[in-house]
Chains A and B, each alone.
Chain A
Amino acid sequence: GAVVSQHPSRVICKSGTSVKIECRSLDFQATTMFWYRQFPKQSLMLMATSNEGSKATYEQGVEKDKFLINHASLTLSTLTVTSAHPEDSSFYICSADSSSYEQYFGPGTRLTVT
């Protein structure tokens, strides 16, 4: 299947700082990428849809100024958590649409804000 990578896999940052997470589709081009968040023992919650060359579409309740998304190319989308707070600590996962109907997911990034 298609491969999606995320970097970093784990990050610990201090409250008030910003953190950037990269999502790359390694062997296919993805016009659309998605960013999810998962709390412990919860489902994956869609945060935003990232389209190459255009602004991201955010789900209701997700602050676009706090979670900055950039989809600069067909293989790279970035999520920047700005002015992070402890409540932003979570597992962030990206996915990319391949030419088939399936979404392929990255391995996830564990963010811990101290």
Chain B
Amino acid sequence: DQQVKQNSPSLSVQEGRISILNCDYTNSMFDYFLWYKKYPAEGPTFLISISSIKDKNEDGRFTVFLNKSAKHLSLHIVPSQPGDSAVYFCAARGSNYKLTFGKGTLLTVNP
């Protein structure tokens, strides 16, 4: 049973446009959500997070939105840059600080 789902395995966006990566979860006990960026054969790099008591968190070009009633969060990247091309993982924190990850979305930003 997949508790964190990223239904789009890939996304292609033009440079300068907005990238929107989506994530759905099923466990209402998750209290913290994180987005990680990952390149092949490297560990994930933390990007941005949001507490379950908030609905938006912004950091530079990255904004995360949380809709608790829909159990949905999204990561917006604007403007998108070619260097943003990577796999993006959504993660949710449950008990004992364990993270549950989605399967990731491969973002390709075309010049």
Contacts and interface: CB of A to CB of B under 8 A. Distances in A.
Contacts of A34: 98-99
Interface stretch (B13-21, B44-52, B61-69): B44-52
Interface of B: 32, 34, 36, 41-46, 49, 51, 89, 93, 96-104
Chief secondary structure at chain A's binding surface = strand
Contacts of B89: 43-44
A44 B101 contact: yes
> Which size bracket describes the interface of A in this complex?
20 to 34
Contacts of A46: 98-100
B43 A102 contact: no
Interface of A: 1, 4, 6, 32, 34, 42-46, 49, 57, 91, 93, 95, 97, 101-108, 110
Given A32-B97, A43-B104, A102 B49 contact: yes
Given A103-B46, A104-B46, 11 more contacts: A4-B43, A6-B43, A43-B101, A46-B98, A101-B49, A102-B49, A103-B34, A105-B45, A107-B42, A108-B43, A110-B41
Contacts of B97: 32, 97, 103
Given A43-B89, A103-B99, A93 B32 contact: no
